[in-house]
Amino acid sequence: MDAIWVKILQELREFGFSIDKIRAAKESLSFLSDKCGVPMPFLEFYTAFALGGKMPVVILFFPDGVAVPQILQFKVTKVLSRSQFKSTKNIAGIFSKS
């Protein structure tokens, strides 16, 4: 987990996050989750799923430093795999606000 956190830290610094915002992100990712009955920090929980091959995971970092893991890519992949979304025009429509 330390190697993953170091990579996240490097990426956030390159993106321009301050040390205080990175500290807030670490606190967000260290929050214990009882999701699926397994009490562990968010970062560890979602890393286990990503490494286990069950779902791709993204982490959203907000301007105030709050970090939230999401399975958004998985949901988008499922939608994009449907036959009605094969053209670029239709795919662009998925991401526009209605």
pLDDT digits (tens, 9 = 90+) for 42-64: 888 888 878 887 677 888 888 88
pTM: 0.59
Span 4-23, pLDDT tens digits: 889 989 999 999 999 999 99
Position 31 confidence tier, pLDDT thresholds 50, 70, 90:
confident
17: Cβ contacts below 8 Å, ≥ 6 apart: 25, 61, 65
Domain that holds residue 68: 2-95
The strand pair at 32-33 and 40-41 is best described as: antiparallel
What is the count of structural domains for the chain?
1
Cα distance between residue 91 and residue 85, in whole Å: 6
